[in-house]
């Protein structure tokens, strides 16, 4: 009897806990969707009945006619911004109110969480400024040869299958190709996943994205009771995954140091940062634009906020301390570069002094490059090949362009040749419109914000959802949106569309840092494949595709099967 009473009280408390907030948006006069207890408005997503993309698209459609609308993730009020002008405010104009993603992290106990995706405020800004040059065009040219090596290996691997006209699960093969690619470029390690599906890198990659994995539990707590993450010491990834990545980085660093090896990859760039060598080949124009966007992170933060950010990011390894030092005191620069205009040092050089790159810090970054790089590239490429198999005229036209450009480059897939392939660019852009790897962007309101043109005040801590998949499939911006049509991306057609209606890599200062690298590996992989092989639907192809509701990055259930044959005419 007593037990029943305890259970009853507990259930009543849980019900109260999960529903007490449900008048939140009504009281603010914000249009909102009626939530259900325990799930809020995301029951279909929470129970894996719908993918994130489809679940949020339902919400987007229900909020039609409104520029924004309130929803609940379990018990937490969130707001969806639908209107492109408002989206521009969140991502760019009013970035000083929305510079974080609101992902809890604990860099003391979870070294991998000190990464660019998760870090907030100044810690994020310092790191981003420091890492930006590692992803500029000149660095991409350096990495190109590694990516090309993997792309050529992919062709060699697939050739016997094509000769026999076999059906191939390209989703799986391309995940292994992308794993090889990113482990080579980020970790400096040849993972050999293409030929060995049980390689350790592949295994770890699968563990990270596997449904029901540690990551999903982390996500659940994050949105319900974030305090429990710290209490139970739940890390971003399982100990096995964290240890694996940290150890690979440490071993590789030691090996390179002992043997005096310098390899042209991301790891090498990070090692240079560790040694305080400025890798700055930063395009000055880009530097200026970026700094204009984020400078208010300095100006606007009040003292209290700054010290909070700093104490949150205080780590045993002293990573993110904003320390006044002899180089920057009184605005004078004495670090060997000489004083610059107005006594100010270029922001890049200044931040380089602030971010301490030790082994854990390097591991956190390459780990997030691995995560950001392998799944996104693999799925984008396989979706593209699927659309090419369905749209044979597009496949033919793409092959013709590749042949034509290669003729000018003596048959070699050079970096410049790839850049010249305009139709390839449209094909990839259209693929990312229909299948953006991340269906939504997320930001957190970092200080109270009045939504422009209204008197709605968003409280600090309110999560904001930007539904990119839903916008990409909105007939208001893309007519007949479920049709694959690369023509949408000619200069003329792009100009006709409102801004901020196409954002597969996000937008603003927190735009994907790996954009260039991601596009390079996707485009090069596709170009070499389409140049050599023909892709067709087969008995095992699923039309339409069945998407996996358990995956965070857009993905299919049961792989993505196509028939491969050698190309017919040369
Ligand atoms: C087709 C490939 C890729 C796609 C579609 C993609 C997409 C995205 C998107 C949508 C975001 C969120 C942007 C925002 O919130 O505004 C993001 C962030 C990020 N991506 Fe990518 N990504 C790709 C490849 C890569 C690669 C190859 C890397 C690393 C080598 C990478 C590393 C990151 C990082 C570190 C962030 C966080 C940036 C920050 O907060 O400053 N991504 N990506």
Q: Summarize the annotated binding site as residue ranges.
A: 512
Q: Is 552 near ligand 1, meaning CB less than 6 Å away?
A: no
The contacts of residue 389 (CB under 8 Å, 6+ apart) are 395, 535, 536, 537, 541, 562
d(CA 424, CA 108): 44
Q: Distances in Å between the alpha carbon of 536 and those of 167, 168, 303, 482, 563?
A: 9, 11, 61, 20, 5
The contacts of residue 355 (CB under 8 Å, 6+ apart) are 126, 127, 130, 273, 319, 320, 361
Backbone angles phi, psi at 458, to 5 degrees: -85, 135
Cα 202 to ligand 1 centre (Å): 20
d(CA 488, CA 428): 11
- The atom of ligand 1 lying closest to the CA of 186 is 30
Q: Is 369 near ligand 1, meaning CB less than 6 Å away?
A: yes
d(CA 432, CA 390): 16
Cα 380 to ligand 1 centre (Å): 13
> ω before 544 within 30° of 0 (cis)?
yes
d(CA 45, CA 251): 40
Q: What is the 3-state secondary structure (H, E, C) of 114-173?
A: CCCCCCCHHHHHHHHHHHHHHHCHHHHHHHHHHHHHHHHHHHHHHHHHHHCCCEEEHHHH
- Give the distance, in angstroms, between the CA of residue 333 and the centroid of all CA atoms in the same chain: 35
Cα 341 to ligand 1 centre (Å): 34
Alpha helices in 20-136 (DSSP H): 24-28, 43-46, 52-62, 84-88, 121-131
Q: Is 472 near ligand 1, meaning CB less than 6 Å away?
A: no
d(CA 504, CA 437): 7
Provide the pLDDT for residue 519: 95
Q: Is 122 near ligand 1, meaning CB less than 6 Å away?
A: no
Q: How many CA atoms lie within 13 A of 181 on its CB side?
A: 33
Provide the pLDDT for residue 226: 58
d(CA 411, CA 247): 41
d(CA 234, CA 228): 8
Pocket test for ligand 1, best of 135, 512, 513 (most atoms within 8 A of CB): 512
pLDDT along the chain (570 residues), means of 10: 87 88 95 94 92 96 98 95 97 95 76 84 86 85 92 96 97 93 84 88 78 56 58 69 85 85 81 71 43 50 40 27 27 26 41 65 85 88 98 98 97 95 98 96 96 96 97 98 98 96 96 94 97 97 92 88 88
Kindly report the protein residue whose alpha carbon is nearest to atom 9 of ligand 1. Answer: 505
- The atom of ligand 1 lying closest to the CA of 365 is 35
Kindly report the protein residue whose alpha carbon is nearest to atom 7 of ligand 1. Answer: 505
Which residues on neighbouring strands pair with residue 69, listed in sequence order? Answer: 80
Whether the CB-CB separation of 134 and 148 falls below 8 Å is answered with no
Q: Which two tokens stand for residue 221?
A: 């707590």
Cα 522 to ligand 1 centre (Å): 14
Q: Is 522 near ligand 1, meaning CB less than 6 Å away?
A: yes
Cα 441 to ligand 1 centre (Å): 11
Cα 329 to ligand 1 centre (Å): 35
Cα 366 to ligand 1 centre (Å): 13
**How many CB atoms within 10 Å of residue 190?**
15
Q: Is 525 near ligand 1, meaning CB less than 6 Å away?
A: no
Provide the pLDDT for residue 278: 61
Kindly report the protein residue whose alpha carbon is nearest to atom 30 of ligand 1. Answer: 369
DSSP state of 477: T
* Element of type H or E holding 443: strand 441-444
Q: Which one, of 559, 527, 227, 512, lies nearest residue 382 by Cα?
A: 559
Cα 214 to ligand 1 centre (Å): 21
d(CA 466, CA 444): 11
Pocket test for ligand 1, best of 266, 510, 514 (most atoms within 8 A of CB): 514
ipTM > 0.95, yes or no: yes
Provide the pLDDT for residue 364: 86
- The atom of ligand 1 lying closest to the CA of 266 is 30
Backbone angles phi, psi at 120, to 5 degrees: -130, 165
**How many CB atoms within 10 Å of residue 417?**
19
DSSP state of 473: T
Q: Summarize the annotated binding site for heme as residue ranges.
A: 512
Q: Is 441 near ligand 1, meaning CB less than 6 Å away?
A: yes
CATH no. for 111-320+355-566: 1.10.630.10
Cα 538 to ligand 1 centre (Å): 32
* E strand segments, 313-418: none
Q: Is 549 near ligand 1, meaning CB less than 6 Å away?
A: no
Q: Is 102 near ligand 1, meaning CB less than 6 Å away?
A: no
Whether the CB-CB separation of 329 and 160 falls below 8 Å is answered with no
């Amino acid at each position: 009897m007593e037990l029943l009473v305890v259970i009853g009280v507990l259930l009543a408390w849980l019900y109260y806990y999960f529903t007490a907030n449900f008048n939140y948006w009504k009281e603010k006069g914000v249009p909102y969707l009626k939530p259900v207890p325990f799930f809020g408005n995301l029951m279909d997503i929470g129970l894996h009945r719908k993918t994130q993309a489809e679940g949020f698209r339902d919400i987007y459609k229900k909020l039609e006619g409104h520029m924004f609308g309130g929803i609940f993730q379990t018990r937490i009020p969130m707001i969806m911004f639908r209107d492109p002008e408002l989206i521009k405010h969140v991502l760019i104009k009013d970035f000083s109110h929305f510079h974080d993603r609101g992902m809890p992290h604990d860099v003391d106990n979870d070294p991998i969480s000190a990464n660019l995706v998760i870090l907030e405020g100044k810690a994020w800004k310092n790191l981003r400024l420091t890492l930006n040059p590692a992803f500029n065009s000149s660095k991409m040219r350096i990495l190109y040869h590694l990516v090309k090596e993997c792309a050529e290996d992919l062709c060699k691997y697939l050739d016997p299958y094509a000769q026999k006209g076999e059906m191939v699960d390209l989703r799986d093969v391309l995940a292994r190709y992308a794993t090889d690619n990113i482990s080579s470029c980020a970790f400096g390690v040849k993972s050999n996943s293409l030929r060995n599906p049980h390689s350790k890198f592949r295994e770890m990659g699968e563990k990270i994205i596997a449904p029901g994995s540690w990551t999903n539990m982390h996500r659940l707590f994050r949105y319900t009771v974030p305090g429990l993450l710290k209490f139970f010491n739940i890390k971003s990834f399982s100990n096995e995954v964290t240890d694996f990545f940290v150890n690979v980085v440490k071993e590789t660093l030691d090996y390179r140091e002992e043997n005096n090896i310098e390899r042209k990859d991301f790891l090498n760039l990070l090692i240079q940062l560790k040694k305080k060598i400025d890798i700055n080949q930063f395009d000055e124009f880009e530097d200026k634009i970026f700094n204009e966007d984020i400078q208010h992170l300095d100006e606007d933060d009040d003292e209290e906020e700054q010290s909070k950010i700093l104490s949150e990011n205080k780590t045993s390894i002293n990573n993110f301390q904003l320390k006044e030092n002899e180089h920057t005191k009184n605005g004078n620069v004495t670090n060997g570069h000489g004083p610059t205009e107005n006594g100010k040092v270029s922001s890049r050089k200044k931040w380089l002094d602030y971010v301490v790159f030790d082994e854990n810090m390097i591991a956190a970054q390459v780990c997030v490059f691995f995560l950001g790089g392998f799944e996104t590239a693999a799925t984008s490429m396989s979706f593209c090949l699927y659309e090419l198999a369905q749209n044979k005229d597009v496949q033919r036209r793409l092959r013709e362009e590749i042949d034509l450009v290669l003729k000018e480059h003596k048959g070699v897939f050079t970096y410049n040749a790839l850049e010249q392939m305009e139709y390839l660019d449209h094909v990839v852009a259209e693929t990312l419109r229909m299948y953006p790897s991340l269906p939504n962007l997320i930001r957190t309101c970092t200080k109270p914000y009045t939504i422009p043109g209204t008197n709605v005040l968003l409280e600090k801590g309110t999560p904001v959802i930007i539904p990119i998949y839903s916008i990409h499939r909105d007939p208001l911006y893309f007519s007949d949106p479920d049709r694959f049509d690369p023509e949408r991306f000619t200069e003329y057609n792009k100009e006709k569309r409102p801004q901020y209606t196409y954002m597969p890599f996000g937008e603003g200062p927190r735009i994907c840092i790996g954009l260039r690298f991601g596009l390079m590996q996707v485009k090069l992989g596709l170009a070499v494949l389409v140049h050599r092989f023909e892709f067709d639907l087969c008995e095992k192809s699923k039309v339409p595709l069945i998407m996996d509701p358990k995956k965070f990055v857009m993905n299919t259930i049961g792989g993505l099967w196509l028939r491969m044959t050698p190309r017919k005419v040369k």
